[in-house]
Structure 1
């Protein structure tokens, strides 16, 4: 697929040069709409920006293919993490592409956008019969699927999705991902002069430190992780600290387990506040909910066959990262998240490989033209 390889490199480089940090996806959305318009595919922008605060909405479109059966949803996100301004695609040997080292590359998720575009382009230019394709390019995915949460799912007819947004070996696909619950624990103590009358104060930092030291963190078991990632507080080194704010998260492949573990955290902070004579203000949120697509499902079976036809070994994996599929699953759309040549993501060492993007494109082509199972 030489032509696909050459075009994929060009398309990817064009996308990389567009600044699209989360909630600033307008230019990216305009460019993607024009790309698909050249293929005769119209993408419409929804009104989710009113909810998300982005300067653009999600893009949705449908590509008729002539095969009977329900459409398949292909999805990727338009936003990138920071630092994301002034990105450049630096091409190296053997198809490798990196940033210049001062920004992320944006392969997460522009490699996914490129592969979807190339698959649709190949099918249309070669007039190949395929199943109907629904396309969804979202905003704010890096903020726990913010754009996907604001989409109107009454517009979709697909009941299975292939989300192109996973690091790892090409052929890998995540069939399960965790719930992510975040929390803020604000310990309130009492200020006092640390030299003259420390006994009159209640040191919130000390109270918070005791409870943090007692909590289980890191990998709790094969399904669950927990982390306290931020702590702040105090007004001066000569003041008994009247407040301490602690922030963290719990992840688990089982939603109920995440909820229960977070309850353990809250109770520990409540006990520490009571024992110290202070108070606790607690906030928590379910950022995304866990999903698990059956290994014997049509979604997985079709993917395995498509990868095999492309000469690639399919491996089904569990991931501890979230994606838009976590959101789609809550609306009855079972799916998997495909590895899409994004490596060292969320860092300035991020890189991709055009050969691998083409391999992903080949899997998509076989997926879209294969027999309905």
Structure 2
């Protein structure tokens, strides 16, 4: 396991945060730093047709080692880390043989990772945990996935007795800002299907995800001297408060689970004259998703009727859709992953993703792409962690999927 640990640490210490405010692709130049390292590493371990294109997509091939036709499968992870929390100067902390108690991430700032709040920690008693030092995210989302894919390919190259068909791997930029599959060349990738290694808990296997939209609300006010403001001033921040309050108060991420959708206000900035709200809108059911967008627009329309027709402006953009529609016709690809886990003694946890993944967009572009666990928890913040053993199990699943796909093709 030392090999995958070293590889993971190398990746997470490279800052690759993406930027939702930048329309360039990729959205940050620093994503190229890891992409170039991955090109070198893939070539070093013996992968073929290693490419880095003008859009920062890394692709490579492991040729088949059998003399009969096997479907070409792919494995995909993303290079970037979330813009929600700093990814600069990541300083990983190791906790061998975790005892199930509180972990002090940062004594000086009193930052504690506690199983009393994060119950999933107790799943990893006796394991080696890698955490942050409390000042950055870790980057297991999705550098754990990258480390697992590269390690699995290296293992297959070093063990030619394990029979497999042609395997394609890819590492994508800008997944965290919803653009990861936007410029992905499915035809060039050339796989019959693929798996993203981008899930969380050991055993996760997902082929459903949210339908997703991003929404920007611009509220236009009028600034007047407060001493003479009666009947004239329009305080955009107070109208913003009315907008927020008009949405269903319990349909937010912190009060929903499972298949329940939500409206999530994730950023706001404002002054009297202008306030901006940034939302994401999510639902697994397409009909309910459309209704959510209509409700969102209606809140703006109602406020405009009350205050003025151009006071509240709403811009809603669809981001991705539930990949279930594209996966169900080819459910054998989920069955293979499930069987791989069972053969390794892993209990499959088949559930819907409360989020998105490159796989959802890729599925709609013609590359069916379920999601498999990468092992990390508490993504996008200082409490992120991953167990070394989880990364090794994910690596084993990749190898086993390649074997089972080949066996079924005989």
Asked whether the two chains share a fold, i.e. TM above 0.5, the reply is yes
Pairing partner for 2:368 from 318, 331, 334: 334
Structure 2 gaps of 5+ residues are: 19-27, 98-127
Change (3 A) 1:298 1:215: same
Q: What's the offset of the Cα at 1:348?
A: 1.8
Question: 1:188 and 2:220 equivalent?
Answer: yes
Partners of 2:277 and 2:10 in 1: CA distance: 41
Change (3 A) 1:247 1:100: closer
Change (3 A) 1:214 1:308: same
Partners of 1:86 and 1:204 in 2: CA distance: 38
Partners of 1:17 and 1:274 in 2: CA distance: 52
The Cα offsets for residues 263-285 of structure 1, whole Å up to 9 and x where unpaired, read as 21112212211211351322121
Partners of 2:44 and 2:250 in 1: CA distance: 48
Contact 2:42 2:60 in 1 (8 A): no
Q: What's the offset of the Cα at 1:91?
A: 2.3
Equivalent residue, structure 2, for 1:13: 9
Pairing partner for 1:41 from 30, 40, 47: 47
Q: What's the offset of the Cα at 1:314?
A: 1.1
Q: Secondary structure at the match of 1:83?
A: coil
Q: Secondary structure at the match of 2:175?
A: coil
299-308 or 198-207, larger mean C-alpha shift = 198-207
Equivalent residue, structure 2, for 1:64: 63
Change (3 A) 1:202 1:364: same
Partners of 2:239 and 2:383 in 1: CA distance: 39
Partners of 1:21 and 1:245 in 2: CA distance: 23
Question: 1:229 and 2:266 equivalent?
Answer: yes
Change (3 A) 1:91 1:211: closer
TM-score between both structures, scaled by the size of structure 1: 0.88
Equivalent residue, structure 2, for 1:349: 383
Change (3 A) 1:83 1:126: same
Q: What's the offset of the Cα at 1:256?
A: 4.1
Change (3 A) 1:295 1:310: farther
Q: What's the offset of the Cα at 1:80?
A: 1.7
Question: 1:125 and 2:158 equivalent?
Answer: yes
Pairing partner for 2:37 from 9, 31, 42: 31
Structure 1 gaps of 5+ residues are: 49-56, 235-240
The Cα offsets for residues 250-297 of structure 1, whole Å up to 9 and x where unpaired, read as 101133432331121112212211211351322121122221133970
Partners of 2:166 and 2:217 in 1: CA distance: 48
Equivalent residue, structure 2, for 1:237: none
Partners of 2:398 and 2:263 in 1: CA distance: 35
Q: CA RMSD in A?
A: 2.1
Contact 1:218 1:227 in 2 (8 A): no
Partners of 1:212 and 1:80 in 2: CA distance: 29
121-130 or 225-234, larger mean C-alpha shift = 225-234
TM-score between both structures, scaled by the size of structure 2: 0.80
Contact 1:187 1:273 in 2 (8 A): no
The Cα offsets for residues 177-233 of structure 1, whole Å up to 9 and x where unpaired, read as 112211112222433333324113344334343343222144378342112333433
Equivalent residue, structure 2, for 1:201: 233
Equivalent residue, structure 2, for 1:110: 143
Q: Secondary structure at the match of 2:275?
A: strand
